[in-house]
Amino acid sequence: MSKKAIILLSGGLDSSTVLAIAKSKGYECYALTINYQQRHNAELKAAKKIANLYNVKDFKIVDIDLSWLKSSALTNKDIDIPENFSPGIPVTYVPARNTIMMTLALAWAETIKSQDIFIGVNSVDYSGYPDCRPEYIESFQKMANLATKAAIEGNKIKIHTPLINLTKDQIIHEGLKNKVDYKITVSCYQASENGLACGKCDSCRLRKEGFKSAKVKDPTNYKN
């Protein structure tokens, strides 16, 4: 019998690669997508396509309104998405987003008696978000194993981060090895409703550079 795993699936390049990796390891995958009232819903549509493509056991889109967190450009449309690199934690950081998402994944894992959660965080080619670092993941896993009935009864939770130490080009090669169709993934912070990427935001920059470094044709649909 296959082990069950919760996969946090945003519809982007990294999380789609993680789903493919989990499937390749023989997990029965339950995909969880969070609609937090982000700037656009193109990635939600992409997540549904990817979940269907990989024939996940179950796919859920959970609605949680974070639009009242006005400090992030991803939840406040009055803040422009930066189109040039700047040092420090960018304005696209959403307060506690990964903590909220992983908590929901943890709750679902405990409900279906899964001990495995996969998330596509990366600490190499990334935007500098504090909740993508290895020490954060280690701390969350420790908390999960203190806070859940399952763990107290001996069924410890494992947070899997297969991409955390990979460069973007390494991630792309790993995905291609597992037959990820990157054309249907959406990474852009300000994609159009039909998924066209701006080609200018930090996420697009990292994606473009990844395909260039990987020496693989970029299949992304850009606006220009």
Query: Any idea where the domains of the chain sit in the sequence?
Result: 4-214
Put simply, whether the predicted model's pTM sits higher than 0.85 gets the answer: yes
- Give mean pLDDT, residues 9-35: 98
Contacts of 9 (CB under 8 A, 6+ apart): 15, 16, 18, 19, 31, 32, 33, 47, 50, 51, 59
Whether residue 1 has pLDDT greater than 70: no
Q: Which of 163, 178, 201 is nearest to 81 (CA)?
A: 201
Fold designation for 4-214: Rossmann fold (3.40.50)
Whether residue 128 has pLDDT greater than 90: no
pLDDT-wise least confident of 22-26, 138-142, 179-183, 192-196:
192-196
Residue 136: in which H helix or E strand, if any?
A: helix 134-147
**Three-class SS state of 161:** coil
**Three-class SS state of 13:** helix
Tokens in use for 57? 């056991």
Q: ∠ at Cα 189 (183, 158), nearest 5°?
A: 80
Q: What is the mean pLDDT of the chain?
A: 95
pLDDT digits (tens, 9 = 90+) for 63-99: 999 999 999 999 999 999 999 877 889 999 999 999 9
pLDDT of the residue at 2: 80
pLDDT digits (tens, 9 = 90+) for 152-203: 999 999 999 999 999 999 999 999 999 999 999 999 999 998 899 999 999 9
Torsion angle, alpha carbons of 93, 94, 97, 99, to 10? 70
